[in-house]
Amino acid sequence: MDRKDYTNCMIPYMKGGGEDRKLRFCIGAKICSGKSKNEEEAQKLCDEAALQPKAPKKARGQCKIDIASLAACIIASLDGMEISQAKLAPIIAGCTGQKVEISSREKFIKKCFKENMVTGDIKEAQKLRSLCTKMWKEQEIAA
Protein backbone atom coordinates (compact mmCIF):
# COMPACT_ATOMS: atom_id res chain seq x y z
CA MET A 1 0.00 0.00 0.00
CA ASP A 2 1.49 3.34 -0.98
CA ARG A 3 1.02 6.66 0.78
CA LYS A 4 -1.92 7.72 -1.37
CA ASP A 5 -3.81 4.48 -0.68
CA TYR A 6 -3.08 4.82 3.04
CA THR A 7 -4.37 8.41 3.06
CA ASN A 8 -7.54 7.44 1.21
CA CYS A 9 -8.08 4.56 3.64
CA MET A 10 -7.67 6.92 6.64
CA ILE A 11 -10.17 9.57 5.47
CA PRO A 12 -13.27 8.10 7.16
CA TYR A 13 -11.36 7.62 10.43
CA MET A 14 -10.11 11.21 10.47
CA LYS A 15 -13.45 12.91 9.89
CA GLY A 16 -15.28 14.58 12.75
CA GLY A 17 -14.21 15.58 16.23
CA GLY A 18 -15.27 14.38 19.61
CA GLU A 19 -13.76 12.47 22.49
CA ASP A 20 -13.27 9.28 20.47
CA ARG A 21 -11.29 10.97 17.67
CA LYS A 22 -7.92 9.65 18.91
CA LEU A 23 -9.31 6.15 19.19
CA ARG A 24 -10.87 6.32 15.69
CA PHE A 25 -7.60 7.59 14.29
CA CYS A 26 -5.67 4.77 16.00
CA ILE A 27 -8.11 2.13 14.73
CA GLY A 28 -7.87 3.52 11.21
CA ALA A 29 -4.08 3.55 11.37
CA LYS A 30 -3.99 -0.10 12.45
CA ILE A 31 -6.38 -1.20 9.71
CA CYS A 32 -4.92 0.97 6.92
CA SER A 33 -1.33 -0.03 7.73
CA GLY A 34 -2.25 -3.72 7.76
CA LYS A 35 -1.39 -4.28 11.42
CA SER A 36 -4.89 -5.57 12.04
CA LYS A 37 -7.48 -7.25 9.82
CA ASN A 38 -10.65 -5.79 11.34
CA GLU A 39 -11.90 -3.06 13.68
CA GLU A 40 -12.19 -5.37 16.73
CA GLU A 41 -8.54 -6.41 16.46
CA ALA A 42 -7.52 -2.78 15.87
CA GLN A 43 -9.60 -1.68 18.90
CA LYS A 44 -7.76 -4.23 21.04
CA LEU A 45 -4.33 -3.02 19.84
CA CYS A 46 -5.27 0.61 20.46
CA ASP A 47 -6.59 -0.15 23.97
CA GLU A 48 -3.34 -1.95 24.80
CA ALA A 49 -1.29 0.95 23.49
CA ALA A 50 -3.32 3.43 25.58
CA LEU A 51 -2.49 1.47 28.73
CA GLN A 52 1.26 1.60 28.07
CA PRO A 53 3.04 4.37 30.03
CA LYS A 54 4.24 7.14 27.78
CA ALA A 55 7.73 8.56 28.07
CA PRO A 56 7.73 12.13 29.39
CA LYS A 57 8.11 14.77 26.71
CA LYS A 58 11.26 16.83 26.75
CA ALA A 59 10.74 20.55 27.19
CA ARG A 60 11.64 22.54 24.10
CA GLY A 61 13.81 25.59 24.18
CA GLN A 62 14.95 25.05 27.74
CA CYS A 63 18.39 24.00 28.72
CA LYS A 64 19.68 23.13 32.12
CA ILE A 65 22.92 24.78 33.10
CA ASP A 66 25.10 23.67 35.96
CA ILE A 67 25.43 27.10 37.53
CA ALA A 68 28.26 26.10 39.89
CA SER A 69 30.39 24.72 37.04
CA LEU A 70 29.65 27.75 34.89
CA ALA A 71 30.65 30.12 37.69
CA ALA A 72 33.87 28.18 38.33
CA CYS A 73 34.77 28.26 34.63
CA ILE A 74 34.11 32.00 34.37
CA ILE A 75 36.09 32.82 37.50
CA ALA A 76 39.05 30.75 36.26
CA SER A 77 38.91 32.51 32.89
CA LEU A 78 38.73 36.02 34.35
CA ASP A 79 42.12 35.63 36.03
CA GLY A 80 41.92 39.04 37.71
CA MET A 81 41.03 41.03 34.58
CA GLU A 82 38.64 43.94 34.70
CA ILE A 83 35.08 42.86 33.87
CA SER A 84 33.22 44.27 30.89
CA GLN A 85 30.51 42.89 28.64
CA ALA A 86 32.95 42.61 25.75
CA LYS A 87 35.33 40.52 27.86
CA LEU A 88 32.70 38.46 29.68
CA ALA A 89 30.52 37.41 26.69
CA PRO A 90 33.13 35.23 24.95
CA ILE A 91 34.13 33.68 28.28
CA ILE A 92 30.52 32.66 29.00
CA ALA A 93 30.10 31.39 25.44
CA GLY A 94 33.22 29.27 25.79
CA CYS A 95 32.18 27.91 29.20
CA THR A 96 28.72 26.91 27.93
CA GLY A 97 30.10 25.23 24.82
CA GLN A 98 28.73 27.79 22.40
CA LYS A 99 30.57 29.06 19.36
CA VAL A 100 32.91 31.84 20.39
CA GLU A 101 32.83 34.68 17.91
CA ILE A 102 35.80 36.82 17.05
CA SER A 103 36.08 39.52 19.69
CA SER A 104 35.09 43.03 18.85
CA ARG A 105 38.76 44.00 19.40
CA GLU A 106 39.90 41.60 16.69
CA LYS A 107 37.13 42.81 14.37
CA PHE A 108 38.14 46.41 15.01
CA ILE A 109 41.82 45.70 14.27
CA LYS A 110 40.96 43.80 11.05
CA LYS A 111 38.80 46.70 9.89
CA CYS A 112 41.52 49.19 10.86
CA PHE A 113 44.10 47.20 8.84
CA LYS A 114 41.88 47.18 5.75
CA GLU A 115 41.24 50.90 5.97
CA ASN A 116 44.89 51.91 6.55
CA MET A 117 46.92 49.35 4.59
CA VAL A 118 48.97 50.94 1.78
CA THR A 119 51.90 48.75 0.72
CA GLY A 120 51.22 45.49 2.54
CA ASP A 121 54.82 44.89 3.63
CA ILE A 122 55.81 43.52 7.04
CA LYS A 123 57.12 46.82 8.43
CA GLU A 124 53.87 48.56 7.60
CA ALA A 125 51.90 45.69 9.17
CA GLN A 126 53.84 46.01 12.42
CA LYS A 127 53.23 49.76 12.56
CA LEU A 128 49.56 49.30 11.69
CA ARG A 129 49.14 46.69 14.41
CA SER A 130 50.48 49.13 16.98
CA LEU A 131 48.38 51.99 15.61
CA CYS A 132 45.17 49.94 15.50
CA THR A 133 45.74 48.52 18.98
CA LYS A 134 46.29 52.04 20.31
CA MET A 135 43.09 53.23 18.60
CA TRP A 136 41.18 50.27 20.13
CA LYS A 137 42.46 51.06 23.64
CA GLU A 138 41.49 54.73 23.25
CA GLN A 139 38.02 53.66 22.11
CA GLU A 140 37.64 51.30 25.12
CA ILE A 141 38.71 54.02 27.58
CA ALA A 142 36.25 56.46 26.04
CA ALA A 143 33.40 53.92 26.35
Per-residue pLDDT tens digits for 120-130:
777 788 888 88
pLDDT below 50 — which residues of the chain?
none
Give the per-residue pLDDT at 31.
93
**Rounded CA separation 139/7 (Å):** 65
Give the per-residue pLDDT at 42.
92
Q: HSE on the CB side for 30, CA within 13 Å?
A: 20
Give the per-residue pLDDT at 27.
92
As a 3-state breakdown, the chain gives helix, strand, coil percent values, each rounded to 5, of 65, 0, 35
Give the per-residue pLDDT at 102.
62
